A and B are shown apart, each in its own frame.
Chain A
Amino acid sequence: DQQVKQNSPSLSVQEGRISILNCDYTNSMFDYFLWYKKYPAEGPTFLISISSIKDKNEDGRFTVFLNKSAKHLSLHIVPSQPGDSAVYFCAASAVGGADGLTFGKGTHLIIQP
């Protein structure tokens, strides 16, 4: 049973426009959500996170929105730049969870010039 779902394997966006990456989850015990970015031949790197007590967190061009009632979060990148082309993983951790993060399958974002 997949607890964190990223239903779009890939997304193509024109440079300068907004990129919106989506993530759904099923476990209501998740209390923290993170986005990681991964380039080929490198490990994932932390991008931005949000606590379940918030509905929005912003860091420069990156904003994460959380809709707890819908069990949905999204990552907005504005404006999109060529260096944003990467695989983005949504991840979640549970209240009191000792076993770390549960990851989605990832979305490959391609920024078109």
Chain B
Amino acid sequence: EAQVTQNPRYLITVTGKKLTVTCSQNMNHEYMSWYRQDPGLGLRQIYYSMNVEVTDKGDVPEGYKVSRKEKRNFPLILESPSPNQTSLYFCASSAGTGGTRPQHFGDGTRLSIL
């Protein structure tokens, strides 16, 4: 089954404690991205990657890091999480950019930073 898998699904942690949210896709997609969803703000892109070793900032990259060492994996790293990073996070992948290749989303990771 084609899917994008995120882990963990839920996490409560404290300010400053480094954390990583993993994302893996089994569709051999080149394009992957991370979004955060906040009430009243919709989905905002954090980082994206067009291929292995190629990453770029989205609209809200501050406080986040990513890496793309393998095609299937695109982890999101919060080196020093802060309460304003409490949010619902989605990883997505697609065969390419542009609307002709719709993005497939994972089921989300809800992070609470205390």
Contact = CB atoms under 8 A, between A and B. Distances in A.
Interface of A: 6, 9, 31-34, 36, 41-46, 49, 51, 89, 91-93, 97-106
A97 B98 contact: yes
Interface stretch (B38-46, B68-76, B79-87): B38-46
Given A32-B100, A91-B99, 8 more contacts: A43-B105, A45-B105, A51-B100, A91-B43, A98-B56, A99-B45, A101-B45, A102-B45
A103 B42 contact: yes
A41 B107 contact: yes
A89 B50 CA distance: 23
Interface string B4-34: 1000000000000000000000000001010
B75 to A, nearest CB: 17
26 contacts: A43-B4, A43-B90, A43-B92, A43-B106, A44-B43, A44-B105, A45-B105, A46-B103, A49-B99, A51-B99, A91-B43, A92-B99, A93-B97, A93-B98, A97-B97, A98-B50, A99-B48, A99-B56, A99-B58, A100-B31, A100-B92, A100-B97, A101-B103, A105-B41, A106-B42, A106-B43
Nearest to B90: A43
Nearest to B44: A103
